Amino acid sequence: MRYIALALAGLGAGVEAYAIVCERRMQRQRRPGVSYWAATLRRDGGWQRTDLFTPEGLVEQRRAARSGMIGAGLWGLALVAWLVANLT
C-alpha cells in the first residue's frame, strides 16, 4: 500500500508540473498591454477574462485549472493511501 501512495504522489507531482507549464503558456497569451499583475493578482484571478487573455490563453487557463485540481486530488488519494498503510 505504501508503494501505491508513493505512485499516486509521484503522479500528482507530474500533473501539477504540467499545470505549471500550462499556466506559464497562459501568461504568454496575455493581450498587449496587460501586465502579469493585472492578469493574475486580482480577486477573480483573471478567470475566463477575454479582455486579459487571447482565446489560446483561455484554453491554457482551463488546462492549468483542470490539471491543478486533478493533481490535488491525486495528492489527497496518496495521503489517504499512506494513512491506511501506516494505520493498519
pLDDT at position 1 is 81
**pLDDT at residue number 26:** 93
What is the maximal distance between C-alpha atoms in the chain? 57
How far is it, in rounded angstroms, from Cα 31 to Cα 34?
6
User: Can you give the pLDDT at residue 13?
Assistant: 98
The tens digit of pLDDT for each residue in 26-76 reads: 999 999 999 988 888 878 877 888 889 999 999 999 999 999 999 999 999
Query: Distance between CA 19 and CA 21 in Å, rounded?
Result: 5
Average pLDDT over residues 75-85: 96
- Model pLDDT, residue 88: 76
CA 12 – CA 51 distance, rounded (Å): 32
The SS3 call for residue 24 is helix
What is the count of structural domains for the chain? 1
Q: How many C-beta atoms lie closer than 10 Å to residue 25's C-beta?
A: 16
Is residue 85 pLDDT above 80, yes or no?
Answer: yes
Give the C-alpha separation, 67 to 26, whole Å. 13
Q: Which domain holds residue 34?
A: 2-87
